[in-house]
């Protein structure tokens, strides 16, 4: 029996990276999975990966920053699989690395719209549905940048601190109705986003691994699969007393 057998799970931004690994892991542990992304090609690819391992998944396109699209996503998810037990609010963008006083307002607005507003909209719609279904579990993707600052990344850092705050509030307000809400705070994870951040920092002079591995006390960056492991566990009944937490998964990064 899988960790989440018989449950229904939604993963936003699951057309690539951590979201894709999470969708695949949910399916491997027995859940029916709603794969969602702005990128339809990536999303359909994730569905194909799940079906290849005999899992059940559908793709539903949605931009998490758009309220109507998020509402339609939840409605279609429930139409597909009947209820919503687990949700992972993973969709996010990094934007540009720019000194604080030079940050363009459009960079700030877009990062806040996707990472913070997007997480807020998804939480609202998911919790409304879970209240009807009698409970559920949600994991938000914050970051080590939701716990400490990173020069050049003010909008991203602000958005991820905000995600950790939303997580605490949602957990407090709906705990008694059987809904658990947690955030995880990954360090460097081997995805397109980390490549973009490394490239912006070094101008491509060294590889992502050369730049990022030594920054982590464990001596390396993490894999999307390692993060997926924690997310699916947090959404499973095994994590029944964990809520309102902002959990680092970072090879010791914030212990420094
Ligand atoms: N990679 C890391 O090192 C790292 C570290 C800490 C936190 N995170 C967080 O983990 C999450 C996933 O990051 P990743 O590294 O897998 O990134 P990624 O860029 O590889 O994948 C992100 C996915 O989200 C989708 N997406 C972007 N904007 C969207 C929107 N408005 N609506 C719906 N989907 C959208 C993209 O199309 C893509 O498929 C993000 O929230 C990120 O901030 C990543």
- Phi, psi torsion values for 63, nearest 5 degrees: -95, 120
Query: In which band, very low, low, confident or very high, does the pLDDT at 186 lie, cut at 50, 70 and 90?
Result: very high
Q: What is the pLDDT of residue 27?
A: 98
Domains of the chain in sequence order: 8-255 (3.40.50.720)
Query: In which band, very low, low, confident or very high, does the pLDDT at 171 lie, cut at 50, 70 and 90?
Result: very high
What is the 23 CA–ligand 1 centroid distance (Å)?
13
Please give the mean pLDDT across all residues of the chain. Answer: 98
* CA 98 to the chain's CA centroid: 24
- Cβ burial of 66 (10 Å; 0-12, 13-18, 19+) is middle
Any ligand 1 atom below 6 A from CB of 141: yes
Q: Position of tokens 């070094």?
A: 202
Any ligand 1 atom below 6 A from CB of 132: no
Q: What is the pLDDT of residue 1?
A: 86
> Among 13, 14, 89, which is best to mutate for testing ligand 1, by the most ligand atoms less than 8 A from CB?
13
Average pLDDT rounded to a whole number, residues 77-91: 98
Q: What is the number of the ligand 1 atom nearest to the C-alpha of 190?
A: 1
* CA 149 to the chain's CA centroid: 19
Instruction: Please name which of 157, 73, 152 lies closest in space to residue 115, comparing C-alpha atoms.
Output: 157
> Collapsing DSSP states into helix, strand and coil, what is residue 122?
helix
Q: What is the number of the ligand 1 atom nearest to the C-alpha of 18?
A: 16
DSSP one-letter string for 209-229: HHHHGGGSTTSS-B-HHHHHH
Average pLDDT rounded to a whole number, residues 92-99: 96
Q: What number of CA atoms fall less than 13 Å from residue 119's CA on the CB side?
A: 30
- Does the pLDDT of residue 253 top 90, yes or no? yes
DSSP one-letter string for 152-199: T-HHHHHHHHHHHHHHHHHHHHHGGGTEEEEEEEE--BSSHHHHHHHH
Q: What number of CA atoms fall less than 13 Å from residue 3's CA on the CB side?
A: 20
CB atoms within 10 A of CB 47: 21
Helix (H) or strand (E) holding 247: strand 246-249
Find out whether 140 and 182 touch, Cβ atoms under 8 Å.
Answer: yes
> Among 148, 191, 251, which is best to mutate for testing ligand 1, by the most ligand atoms less than 8 A from CB?
191
- Give the pairing of strands 32-37 and 246-249: unpaired
Average pLDDT rounded to a whole number, residues 109-121: 98
Report DSSP state, residue 117: I
Q: How far apart are CA 189 and CA 183, in angstroms?
A: 16
Any ligand 1 atom below 6 A from CB of 18: yes
For residue range 214-230, list pLDDT tens digits in order.
999 999 999 999 999 99
For residue range 122-153, list pLDDT tens digits in order.
999 999 999 999 999 999 999 999 999 999 99
What is the 176 CA–ligand 1 centroid distance (Å)?
31
Q: What is the pLDDT of residue 204?
A: 87
- Does the pLDDT of residue 210 top 90, yes or no? yes
What is the 40 CA–ligand 1 centroid distance (Å)?
15
- Does the pLDDT of residue 109 top 90, yes or no? yes
């Amino acid at each position: 029996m899988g960790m989440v057998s018989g449950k229904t799970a939604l993963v936003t931004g699951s057309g690539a990276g951590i979201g894709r690994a999470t969708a695949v892991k949910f399916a491997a542990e027995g859940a029916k999975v709603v794969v969602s992304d702005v990128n339809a090609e990536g999303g359909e690819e994730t569905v194909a990966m799940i079906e290849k391992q005999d899992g059940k998944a559908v793709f539903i396109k949605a931009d998490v920053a758009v309220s109507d699209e998020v509402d339609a996503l939840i409605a279609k998810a429930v139409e597909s699989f009947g209820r919503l037990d687990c949700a992972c609010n993973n969709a996010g963008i990094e934007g540009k690395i720019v000194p604080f006083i030079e940050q363009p307002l459009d960079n700030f607005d877009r990062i806040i719209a996707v990472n913070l507003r997007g997480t807020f909209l998804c939480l609202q719609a998911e919790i409304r549905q879970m209240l009807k279904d009698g409970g559920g579990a949600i994991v938000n993707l914050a970051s080590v940048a939701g716990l400490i600052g990173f020069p050049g990344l003010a909008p991203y850092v602000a958005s991820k601190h905000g995600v950790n705050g939303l997580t605490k509030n949602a957990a407090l307000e709906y705990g008694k109705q059987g809904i658990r809400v947690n955030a995880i705070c990954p360090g460097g994870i081997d995805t397109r986003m980390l490549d973009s951040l490394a490239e912006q920092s070094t101008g491509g002079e060294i590889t992502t691994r050369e730049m990022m591995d030594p920054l982590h006390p464990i001596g390396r960056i993490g894999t999307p699969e390692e993060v997926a492991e924690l997310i699916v566990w947090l959404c499973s009944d095994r994590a029944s007393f964990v809520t309102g937490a902002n959990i680092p998964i970072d090879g010791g990064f914030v212990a420094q």
